[in-house]
Structure 1
Amino acid sequence: MTVNRPDAGASDAFSAGTLVAIGAGPKSLSVAAKAKVMADLGLPAPRVVIVDRYGVGGNWLPLGGWTDGRHRLGTSPEKDLGFPYRGTPHRTHAAQINAGMLEYSWMAFLVAHQTYTEWIDRGRPNPHHHVWARYLDWAAAKSGAELHIGTVERVRVVDGGWSVDFRTSDGGLDSVDGDGLLVTGPGSSDEPLLDDPRVLSVAGFWDAVSRRAIPASSRAAVIGGGETAASALDELVRHEVMSISVISPAPTIYTRGESYFENSVFSDPTGWPSLPAAERRDVIRRTDRGVFSVSVQENLLADERIHHLRGRVTAARRVGESVALTLGNPGRSAAEHSFDLVVDATGGRPLWFLDLFDAESVDELELALGGRPDLPRLETAIGHDLAVEGLSQALYLPNLAGFAQGPGFPNLSCLGELSNRVLRSAVDRSAARTGAKR
């Protein structure tokens, strides 16, 4: 277990409780950095405690199982921990807080490492994943983020708040309590659709890449149409494969929209909740879910080995030396296709964190939702503060906030607005508990 305790930036009188974050990625670090900025200004701010199995930025490194670290970030790095540098968790200190967050910006990171000029002269390229992880680690150290390295095993409701139990690297069991809980990250990447050596999970694929153990293949398939699949495909084309089928339910492989109009919806979610539900779903489908970044599409355009198969995989089985995948499409008969290598790159399970909740926590969540916790209920129950509405204990779920609050919250598109909403909520909830006035 590693713990960094921030320097005292404010007296106990300005404490706004404790926020526990699962996952030491950009969402948690944006909240931790801004809380530090607020505390340094003498403003109410929660103590932010982060728990992560691997440490800072693990999912951007090979050890996290989602990448080999050598592929490029799909989002501009200028959409950093403070972006879009608009608004504030506090009503009267926007300029000071945003100025403070510039100290944690991508540009500040490059200046600190004397690489800013080179990055500009090279045309502002998107960094490799491992470089993005270095940026996150730098920001964590600069903010003095309080970090516990351990594997979360159980989440419990306690006294109007949360208790997070985690297993430390030496095998011991530890816990941290908080008034609010922030859940980030995609969960596990090592669950393939079929337990078979010819079917690789995301983690299995990147492990094989690192060991240079990707087998030669005549017919390979990559299941998924999003950035996880795009990274796997971008790597697979560098290996000895005769043909690659990209399997997704969409009619084709879409390119993520990168014009001002698409980007502005991600950066500024102000009017998002007023859009009809069907239009919100359509925007997310066209610009975020099931799309490849422009850079990956450009890399793949000239490769004649790549083809698209439309359908949703409904079954998988081993047939001799091949794996047979059954594809279903609405209004059409199921079709079976055989491959000798399959990469299941459909991404993580959106509700992975529910496996950690004890029975009482699930019951509390069910009462708040008015039914069994499932994806449709949770997606529609995320309030403006990115927490589940109707739940007395603050449970912030930005990864599920895309439909209700804006498509930028599940990704890297508006980390500054994410931290604004979470911290404003934490401070307001603390004031309500203590009867203090802001």
Structure 2
Amino acid sequence: MTATLAIIGAGPKAVAVAAKAAALRGMGVPTPEVVAVERTSVAANWLPGGGWTDGNHRLGTGPEKDIGFPYRSSAAPRRNADLDARMMRYSWQSHLVSTGQFAEWVDRGRPAPPHRKWAQYLRWVADQVGMTVLSGEVTEIGVDGDRWALATESEHGGASVSADALMVTGPGQSERSILPGNPRVLSIAQFWHRAAAHERICAERVVVIGGGETAAAILNELFGHRVSTITVISPQVTLFTRGEGYFENALFSDPTGWSGLTPAERRDAIARTDRGVFSARVQDSLLADDRIRHLRGRVAHAVARDEQIRVTLHSDRAGEPLETVHGFDLVIDGSGADALWFTQLFSQDALDMIELSLGGPMTGDRLQESIGYDLAVAQLAPKLFLPNLSGLNQGPGFPNLSCLGLLSDRVLGADLGQRPPSVNRRRSHGRQPIR
């Protein structure tokens, strides 16, 4: 009998955990059964159909920071060197060697791959380790005794998945926007679908809402379209560049000293290096394009009027609240991922259980402050792993791609209990192959 770890989403974090579990199992080390629940396909968010990219933009993190990085395993005491060697079989370089691309990649200067090639790598790893993927969308997260109970739906029917632990990944839905249904307002998904179809955007005044990497990728694409001015709206006083030197990068790869920082120091480090900042590559493009300008504030609401979208902006000046209205021909809502997207899925029983462990209503701040060393909500059983919310307590590398090997160690090193796995079908619905 083994424990079951269910993962919502089959992206890099899920693939990393599945690969580490397979490596441990190959060494004879007890490890939970890993089941990913995915509504489309493995690595879907890195492909045009996922709504977050057209597949052609380049990975912001070096591909060497792959599913085993930094290859400093701790999940197999006295055998971690063997575990690292096994994980190297699933490295980015091993993928290139296996597919005959390694020499070309080296000769080209080891460039960051486009998103579609990163997706190919993740799918290659999933194939290599025999990753179990249940096709379906999670519609409710409940509890059944001391286990999680996930209700799923897909075109094949519905299923319920019972698990001793649950890990939530993914940025949520990319279809949301401030004015749904208006053709002059594009969600992230709508923008990338147009880009993937090679539809040229022609507009006088375009605004992009958001100051993070999602908005930066949109800007990078917009440079090649026929637009006269591009305004970026973000809460920051300016468009900051992400710190990309050795000392900043080391915070993401090695969180050893993170717990010794005060909460204020941690927040400051995240603000300078990760949240609401653009990469140096995008900033270089901004400097060379005189169509770009920046407005500081938060978008309160938007209305359609006189063949324009009127955006109301809230900001402050000298401590006094300030409200301004600006008109644009096209609005692209690139405000980015919703880290709390999954909270709407909890049943009332599950919500009561979580709030009891948090000591109050479930909020983003309470969840972030509750994340323990294993990347799970402290004092909560069964385990709920929330790596996307673990940056404040455990280090900025865990929410993104910077230390997937450490992430899998911490998750698989947690005490999940020993239970028989269970997937109960309500109608005809089997586990689907990952392709």
Q: TM > 0.5 between the two?
A: yes
1:30 and 2:16 matched: yes
**What is the 5 A alignment of 1:240-319?**
240-319=226-305
Note if contact 1:61-1:69 (Cα within 8 Å) is conserved in structure 2. Answer: yes
Residues 35, 264 of structure 1: alpha-carbon distance in 2 compared, 3 angstrom cutoff: same
1:145 and 2:134 matched: no
How far apart are residue 381 of structure 1 and its match? 0.4
Structure 2: gaps of 5 or more residues:
421-435
- Is the partner of 2:335 in helix, strand or coil? coil
Distance 1:88 1:321 in 2: 59
Say whether the 8 Å CA contact 1:249–1:312 is kept in structure 2: yes
Instruction: Kindly indicate whether residue 67 of structure 2 is the aligned counterpart of residue 81 of structure 1.
Output: yes
What is the Cα-based RMSD across aligned positions, in Å? 1.4
Where does residue 67 of structure 1 map in the other structure? Answer: 53
The residue aligned with 2:345 is 356
Between 58-67 and 332-341, report the one with greater CA deviation: 332-341
Return the match for 1:420 from 399, 403, 409: 409
Match of 1:430 among 406, 417, 423: 417
- Does residue 347 in structure 1 map to residue 333 in structure 2? no
State the partner residue of 1:322: 308
2:241/2:277 contact within 8 Å kept: yes
Structure 1 residue 183: deviation in Å? 0.4
SS at match of 2:153: strand
In the TM superposition, what is the alpha-carbon distance from 1:256 to its structure 2 partner? Answer: 1.2
Report if aligned partners of 1:219, 1:241 keep a CA contact under 8 Å in 2.
yes
Given residue 136 of structure 1, which amino acid in structure 2 is its aligned partner? L
SS at 2:282's partner residue?
helix
State yes or no: 1:103 paired with 2:89: yes
| Distance of 1:354 and 1:312 partners within structure 2 | 23
| Structure 2 residue 207 is the aligned partner of structure 1 residue 221 | yes
Does the Cα contact within 8 Å between 1:149 and 1:169 map onto a contact in 2? no
Given the superposition, is the C-alpha separation of residues 101 and 107 from structure 1 closer, same or farther in structure 2, using an over 3 Å criterion?
Answer: same
State the shift of 1:264 in Å.
Answer: 0.5
Residue type of the alignment partner of 2:98: A
Quote the offset at 1:430 in angstroms: 2.4
Stretch of structure 1 that moved more, 391-400 or 311-320: 311-320
Which residue of the partner structure matches residue 327 of structure 2? 338
CA distance in 1, matches of 2:176, 2:224: 24
Decide which of 151, 157, 176 is 2:143's aligned counterpart.
Answer: 157
Q: Is 2:159 aligned against 1:174?
A: yes
Matched, 1:189 2:174: yes
Task: Give secondary structure in 2 for the equivalent of 1:384.
Answer: coil
Q: Does structure 2 retain, via aligned residues, the 8 Å contact 1:54–1:63? A: no
Give the aligned partner of residue 429 of structure 2.
Answer: none
Q: Deviations over 1:51-72 (max 9, x none)?
A: 1111100000111111111111
Distance 2:192 2:282 in 1: 17
**Residue aligning to 1:373:** 362
Secondary structure, aligned partner of 2:393: helix
Conservation of the 8 A alpha-carbon contact between 2:382 and 2:416: no
How many angstroms apart in 1 are the aligned matches of 2:281 and 2:102? 22
The range that moved more, 81-90 or 50-59, is 81-90
Q: Assess if the C-alpha contact under 8 Å between 2:184 and 2:309 holds in 1.
A: yes
Q: How big is the shift at 1:214?
A: 4.7
Q: Which structure has the higher relative contact order (CA within 8 Å, separation 6+)?
A: 2
* Aligned residue number for residue 402 of structure 1: 391
Distance 2:166 2:416 in 1: 13
Deviation at 1:87, TM superposition (A): 3.1
Partner Cα separation in structure 2 for residue 110 and residue 284 of structure 1? 32
Residue 77 of structure 2 corresponds to 91
1:174 maps to a residue whose letter is A
TM-score, normalised to structure 1, is 0.93
Q: Give CA deviations for 1:182-214 in whole Å, capped at 9, x if unaligned.
A: 100001010101122211110111122233445
Q: Output the CA distance in 2 between the equivalents of 1:215 and 1:293.
A: 24
Q: Distance in 1 between matches of 2:200 and 2:354?
A: 43
Describe the SS at the equivalent of 1:299: helix
Q: Distance in 2 between matches of 1:211 and 1:429?
A: 45
- Unpaired runs of 5+ residues, structure 1, are 1-11
Deviating more after overlay: 182-191 vs 314-323:
314-323
User: What is the alpha-carbon distance in structure 1 between the residues aligned to residue 127 and residue 28 of structure 2?
Assistant: 21
C-alpha contact (below 8 Å) 1:382/1:400 kept by paired residues: yes
Aligned residues: 416
8 Å Cα contact 1:90-1:424 kept in structure 2: no
**What secondary structure, in the 3-state scheme, does the structure 1 residue paired with 2:32 have?**
strand
Taking structure 2 as the reference length, what is the TM-score of the superposition? Answer: 0.93
Instruction: Output the CA distance in 2 between the equivalents of 1:430 and 1:96.
Output: 25
